[in-house]
Structure 1
Amino acid sequence: MSTESLAEPVNRVRPRRLGSLRLRLTLAVPLLAATVVGLFEWSLGGFEPLADGLARIAWLVLLLSAAQLLLIDALLLRPLRRLAAGCEAMESAPVPLSPEAAVPAPGRIAELDRIGHAMLRARGSLWQQDQHARELRRELAQQRDQLQEAHSAIEAHQRELAGLVRTDALTGIANQRAFDEALRREFKRAQRQRGLLAVAVLDLDQFKQFNLAHGTAVGDTALRRVAALLKERFKRDTDVVARLGGEEFVTLLPGFGMAEAQSVLESLRDDLRALRLPDGQGSLTLSIGLAAASPAHPYLSAQALLQAADEALYMAKHAGRDRLSLAA
């Protein structure tokens, strides 16, 4: 059966349905209008006025029905007719059913082939670009890791350099720079809190002759052992032991007055005499100059306190060495 033969019954059915709908509306609308007008007139005066004004009611029903039918035709029936006409036009359009009708022309085939090849090339190019982007991301990740490692190494070197700047390379204790900072800090604290602060400058007696007799290697070992002895003797958190240079050391003792510091330092001199030097090479003695700041004996500055201890050391040296001298 052909498409035209199937479409014919459908095309006949649609006008019939529209005509039936128009007929039903033509019958229903006057009845509805008469009912509405009759109810309205009855509500105004009852049945007797309704019978007297029958002609007028008939004219009202006729006019109201005509107006409603015109509105229904304009708003409903005409759009339905246009819709039906469009459907009939779509159904009456020829539809190719044979396979030959669906086969494109040879020129179209060649054009479609070119488009397909172009799409394949574009897909391959996109795949290569994606691979290249992945390689770049991997390289960037590796470089970022390397930069982080380099940054960590630089920070470690900076910490090491900062430690070297504040540490004596030979003995491992604080150097003069670190001691000067601690002295200024503790001096200000002692002034603020009206506390005690003792400073002792220590010098190994005849150390140049010791180096000449035993060699600088033995002398360096002796300096390291003296530094270890000082760290062991002065091990409070607030104590500071430093090497000023050569064979000269210094101790900072917060909270110690002259008497307390003197007692500890005399004991240190005894410990140094008993110190075992490398291979039993000779013995060492200490000359010490001690100064202490207190509310009863204040100093104008931290440098003045250190200078007083240094002058006391000078007096100990000239008094015969191997002794402790107190600042005036």
Structure 2
Amino acid sequence: MSTDSAAPSLHEDAMPRRLGSLRLRLGLGVPLLTCAIVAVFEWSLGGFVVPAEGMARTAWLVLLLSAAQLLLIEMLMLRPLRRLAAGCEAMESAPVPLTPEDATPAPGLAAELDRIGHAMRRARGSLWQQDQHARELRRELTQQRLLLEQAQLALEANQRELASLARTDALTGLANQRAFDEALRREFKRAQRQRGLLALAVLDLDEFKAFNHHHGTAVGDAALQSVAGLLNERFKRDTDVVARLGGEEFVALLPGVGMAEAQGVLEQLRDDLRALRLPQGEGHLTLSVGLAAASPAHPYLSAQALMQAADEALYIAKHAGRDRLSLAA
């Protein structure tokens, strides 16, 4: 027999011998230790009453306690040790497993593993494509959101521009008829409520159709813009409203201003226009003005009545020879 085959046999014999030697030592040592403990216990109780009877009782007590201790040791320690030894022997006697090089899967298992690996690769590829699609979708959504915000800003700007155009004269930049009508109703009600002053002047360029026909439309438009500039220079207060009603007709609404003060400013405006000598410093474009003013001493029933009074004053100025200011009665 070879050395390798003899080694496990020697090891298998050594384990039972060690357990038997341990059981023998416990069988001798446990009774002796129990006897000593019982003797000390009896002595601590006052000694032996009758030596013979005490010895017999002690002997029985030692035997019973020793037997109980050995039984517990056998059940709680020796049997688990014996099972552990048997397990170790079984593990040592088991055949050596094959190395990875020698272990080859069955053909069916290899095919199944290939199919699983292929499916996992396809799943990874699909997940990667879905992630790319999600990223592209997020980019497109971001671009669409930016475009939507830009469109919203452009729409708001267009709405503001349309609102401004709806209330502004395109040629002169002054308020238009709609904006003036709203301002007239508002300021007239305020003047009535506060018993304040409100002056209204209607201004019309004299012989403007002939001027426009002689010098051309472009020169006529430039003249209208110059008149609008003069009106803006003369009426600078936040409460003043200057508008172009259409064609060559303008209007100035002056809250808190009476007849005399408004007359002085408008006469100065007529002088400024004559000094311009439109067109191009060579002409003689003039202005006719009709002025009406509401006050507690001279009230009007409505804003339309005040406007009509100013129009009638302008009509009188036109028929009186133009280039003049006429006051409403």
TM-score by length of 2: 0.73
What does residue 259 of structure 1 align with?
260
Distance 2:231 2:11 in 1: 121
The answer to whether the 8 A contact 2:15-2:85 is kept is no
The answer to whether the 8 A contact 2:245-2:251 is kept is yes
Which letter maps to 1:324? Answer: L
Which letter maps to 1:264? Answer: V
Distance 1:99 1:163 in 2: 87
Q: CA deviation at 1:162?
A: 1.4
Q: Secondary structure at the match of 1:98?
A: coil
Distance 1:20 1:300 in 2: 133
- Over the matched positions of the two proteins, sequence identity in percent amounts to 76
What does residue 148 of structure 2 align with?
147
- Pairs aligned (count): 321
1:54-133 map, 5 Å = 96-99=97-100, 102-133=103-134
The answer to whether the 8 A contact 1:96-1:102 is kept is no
Q: CA deviation at 1:72?
A: 11
Q: CA deviation digits over 1:87-120, x for unaligned, max 9? A: 9888887662434663211222222222222222
Q: 1:255 to 1:106 in 2, by over 3 A?
A: same
Q: Secondary structure at the match of 2:156?
A: helix
Q: CA deviation at 1:49?
A: 10
Q: 1:194 to 1:74 in 2, by over 3 A?
A: farther
Q: 1:311 to 1:102 in 2, by over 3 A?
A: same
Which letter maps to 1:146? Answer: L
Which letter maps to 1:252? Answer: L
Give the alignment's Cα RMSD to 1 decimal: 4.6
What does residue 313 of structure 1 align with?
314
Q: CA deviation at 1:144?
A: 2.3
Which letter maps to 1:139? Answer: E
Q: Secondary structure at the match of 2:202?
A: strand
Q: Is residue 211 of structure 1 aligned with residue 194 of structure 2?
A: no
Q: CA deviation at 1:230?
A: 0.8
Distance 1:285 1:314 in 2: 15
Distance 1:120 1:260 in 2: 93
Q: 1:77 to 1:238 in 2, by over 3 A?
A: farther
Distance 2:296 2:13 in 1: 123
1:289-308 map, 5 Å = 289-308=290-309
Q: CA deviation at 1:142?
A: 2.3
Q: 1:104 to 1:293 in 2, by over 3 A?
A: same
Distance 1:281 1:326 in 2: 30
1:279-294 map, 5 Å = 279-280=280-281, 282-294=283-295
The answer to whether the 8 A contact 1:11-1:88 is kept is no
Q: CA deviation digits over 1:28-84, x for unaligned, max 9? A: 9xx99xx9xx99xxxxxxx989999x9xxxx99999999999999999999999999
Which runs of no fewer than 5 residues in structure 1 stay unpaired? 40-46
Which runs of no fewer than 5 residues in structure 2 stay unpaired? 55-59
The answer to whether the 8 A contact 1:197-1:252 is kept is yes
What does residue 186 of structure 1 align with?
187
The answer to whether the 8 A contact 2:277-2:285 is kept is no
Q: Is residue 246 of structure 1 aligned with residue 283 of structure 2?
A: no
The answer to whether the 8 A contact 2:273-2:285 is kept is yes
What does residue 157 of structure 1 align with?
158
Distance 1:214 1:112 in 2: 98
Q: Secondary structure at the match of 1:107?
A: helix
Q: 1:107 to 1:171 in 2, by over 3 A?
A: same
The answer to whether the 8 A contact 1:258-1:292 is kept is yes
The answer to whether the 8 A contact 2:204-2:289 is kept is yes
1:220-231 map, 5 Å = 220-231=221-232
The structure with more radius of gyration: 2
Q: Secondary structure at the match of 1:148?
A: helix
Which letter maps to 1:234? Answer: F
Q: 1:102 to 1:226 in 2, by over 3 A?
A: same
Distance 1:98 1:132 in 2: 46
Which letter maps to 2:126? Answer: S
Distance 2:325 2:218 in 1: 28
Greater displacement, 254-263 / 65-74: 65-74
Which letter maps to 2:118? Answer: H
Distance 2:286 2:107 in 1: 114
Q: 1:209 to 1:102 in 2, by over 3 A?
A: same
Q: CA deviation at 1:286?
A: 1.5
Q: CA deviation at 1:136?
A: 2.5
Q: 1:113 to 1:310 in 2, by over 3 A?
A: same
Q: 1:144 to 1:49 in 2, by over 3 A?
A: same
Which letter maps to 1:210? Answer: F
